[in-house]
Structure formats: structure tokens, C-alpha cells
Amino acid sequence: MNSEIQALKDELEIRNLQARLAHLADDGELGEYITLFTEDAVWEGGAFGTKRGVEEIMQGAKERRQGGTSGPGAFTRHVLTTTMIELDGDEARGKSVFHFYTNIDQTPVHAVMGIYEDKFLRTASGWKMQHRRIKSPNNLVKPA
């Protein structure tokens, strides 16, 4: 396959991976959600702490759902914007602005905006999330 076409295909797959993660976090099955991460993935979730490996990431997702901060019935929505993807062979980096809304069953409330800094890895089963760092107001470094 032409390298330019492959690069476009890779970028689209990664963008769909990011979108799928957001949709599944909001209202999908956690069993499917966790398959989008590499086994050794790291999820740095700001106020939610750092999770290492799929077992800890899954436990964190369950805790967020039990706490009512995401998932079916929480009436929340993740929205990604201004996404940038940089490909480097079988690895890639991404940076996106995210918006998180609550109360979406009535008048949505824009609860927080932040940055996702992501690392992706091409695996035998496609692109997967290897590292997500969430930068939001509670963990942004402010200039002195």
C-alpha cells in the first residue's frame, strides 16, 4: 500500500479509536472499552489518579461508573476537538482538547475542559491506546 494512503488509514483508525473510547466511556460496555488499551497501558486521570495495566484501568472505569461520574445513567458526555495525530511507524502520539458535559438529559452543563495527551501502538489487532494523560484544571501547570 502506498505510504501516504497507509498514513491516512492509520490516522483515521486512531481518530476512531479515540472516538470509540469516548463513546464507550459514556454509554458503552466496559468489556469492549478495555479492549482498546494495550495490556501495559497507563491512564493518568488527573483527579482520578494513575492506573497501570488493563486491570487497574478497568477497576478505575468501574469506580467512575459506581460513583456516577460516567457511564450509562450518569447523563454525561465526552466531546473531543482539535485533535492532532503524529505517526511514527507503529507508534503514534495524539493531542486533543476534550470537553466534559454533565446533565445532558436536561440542559447540558459544561463541567470541565482539558487536554488528552495520548500514545498509541499498532498491535496485531489494530491500533490501541498505550498511554493517556489527562490534563485538566486540577492538574495543569500554571505559569508563575
Q: Is 113:100 a contact under the CB 8 Å cutoff?
A: yes
Q: Which of 59, 51, 41 is nearest to 123 (CA)?
A: 41
C-alpha cell at 121: 501502538
Per-residue pLDDT of the chain (144 residues; tens, 9 = 90+): 799 999 999 999 999 999 999 999 999 999 999 999 999 999 998 788 999 999 999 999 999 999 999 999 999 999 999 999 999 999 999 999 999 999 999 999 999 999 999 999 999 999 999 999 999 876 554 444
Tell me what pLDDT residue 47 has: 81
Report the CATH number that the domain containing residue 122 is assigned in CATH: 3.10.450.50
* Domain membership of residue 13 as a residue range: 3-135
70 occurs within a structural domain: yes
Give a yes or no: residue 143 inside a domain.
Answer: no
Examine residue 141 and state whether it is found in any structural domain, yes or no: no
Is 53 part of a structural domain of the chain?
yes
Domains held by the chain: number: 1
Q: What's residue 142's pLDDT?
A: 44
pLDDT of residue 89: 96
Dist. CA 14–CA 12, nearest whole Å:
5
Cell of 52: 497501570
Q: Is residue 115 part of a domain?
A: yes
Which 3 state secondary structure label does DSSP give 41? strand
Question: Global pTM?
Answer: 0.91
| DSSP single-letter state for residue 70 | S
Q: Record the cell numbers describing residue 84, joined without a space.
A: 492532532
